[in-house]
Amino acid sequence: MNHSLKPWNTFGIDRHARQVVHAENAIQLLNVWQQATSENLPVLILGEGSNVLFLEDYSGVVLINRLKGIEVSELPDAWLLHVGAGENWHSLVKYTLEKGMPGLENLALIPGCTGSSPIQNIGAYGVELQRVCAYVDCIELSTGLQKRLSAEECRFGYRDSIFKHEYQDRYVIVAVGLKLAKAWHPVLSYGDLTRLDPQTVTPQQVFDAVCHMRITKLPDPKVNGNAGSFFKNPVINSTAAEKLLAAFPSAPHYPQADGSVKLAAGWLIDQCQLKGARVGGAMVHRHQALVLINEDNATSDDVVALARYVRQQVGEKFDVWLEPEVRFIGAQGEVNAVEVIA
């Protein structure tokens, strides 16, 4: 257990693993997985560790997916991109804009690798990955067989996909296919973007505005370890929403196509006056209540206790029970985060 995981989680939590291996290609990745499995060791595949909390030392092999490459082809109405799972997501967003292929600008500065993006169905400022995803290429770890899933087969939901369920430990994502329409339509429904003029705005202006919002509102993981938004924005049924909005008319809320209503977790936490709340070295960020930070050599126990406290406070005030967006990793692999903090 002498391999530090501190460089491999943006929370900066000091846990260890039996082994950490970088995989530059699919064959190497498969070989490492199959070797570890033959020794009955668990394997955790990571991109940049931007959405994980290590609860304890990991008893197996942490495999860093570094499969690179961006290939671009063209249709009359769209650009098609085939992107290696190990490519940095924000670098990809910048690359597409520089090449005159807009469509990803709302997703700027989301930390992590491209291969992680379908797992969470990453989203920000009114756009989710499923809007632009054409397919996901993965490999069945036990057999080495390649498989291409269409966007529909990925079963994307809010911060959810098939990769968090049946495919979780059986497949590794090796590439993501994106389809960016040439007829660009800006999405300006959130935050500072609502002030931009849809008739004249450029993709670069949307990108710049998104970067500005993220930099000014979210802490830099290099300064204060964090995993971005710690909790999902809760989605509640229409009856519960009516009751909540009657009591709190100013609550931000976003009606969904199925009649449910999405709430802003950050607002709920903020209404409980929890900005700056601390447990040990973990703290609720003073500017963005949705982010829990490693303020002062926090342990994972500190983060879990703080998350539990936040969930309890919000639950008691609003009867809305928050669920972590961050993946909790135990000694043998991922565990149910809600059960840990319930």
Q: Are 306 and 282 in contact (CB under 8 A)?
A: yes
CA dist list (Å): 39 to 22, 36, 51, 61, 335: 19, 5, 27, 11, 22
Report how far residue 15's alpha carbon sits from residue 163's, in angstroms, rounded to the nearest whole number: 25
∠ CA 46-52-57, nearest 5°, is 85
Report how far residue 8's alpha carbon sits from residue 46's, in angstroms, rounded to the nearest whole number: 8
Give SS3 for 212: helix
* Catalytic residue (one of 50, 116, 229, 300): 229
Residue identified by tokens 């495999």 is 63
Residues pairing with 263 in the sheet:
253
Residues pairing with 64 in the sheet:
22, 46
Task: Please confirm, yes or no, whether 229 is among the known catalytic residues.
Answer: yes
Report how far residue 268's alpha carbon sits from residue 199's, in angstroms, rounded to the nearest whole number: 34
* Maximum Cα interatomic distance, the chain, rounded to a whole number of Å: 60
Written as one letter, the residue type at 67 is L
265 sits in which H/E element: helix 265-271
Report how far residue 19's alpha carbon sits from residue 60's, in angstroms, rounded to the nearest whole number: 7
* Catalytic residue (one of 48, 105, 295, 325): 325
Identify each DSSP E strand in 213-281 by its residue range: 225-229, 235-236, 253-255, 261-263, 278-279
Report how far residue 193's alpha carbon sits from residue 196's, in angstroms, rounded to the nearest whole number: 5
Q: In terms of C-beta distances under 8 Å and separation of at least 24 residues, what long-range contacts does 245-248 make, across chains too? A: 248/318
Angle subtended by helix axes 203-217 and 89-98, to nearest 10: 150
Torsion sign (Cα): 117, 119, 122, 128:
positive
* Catalytic residue (one of 15, 159, 214, 327): 159
Task: Please confirm, yes or no, whether 242 is among the known catalytic residues.
Answer: no
Task: Please confirm, yes or no, whether 325 is among the known catalytic residues.
Answer: yes
By annotation, the residues acting in catalysis are: 159, 229, 325
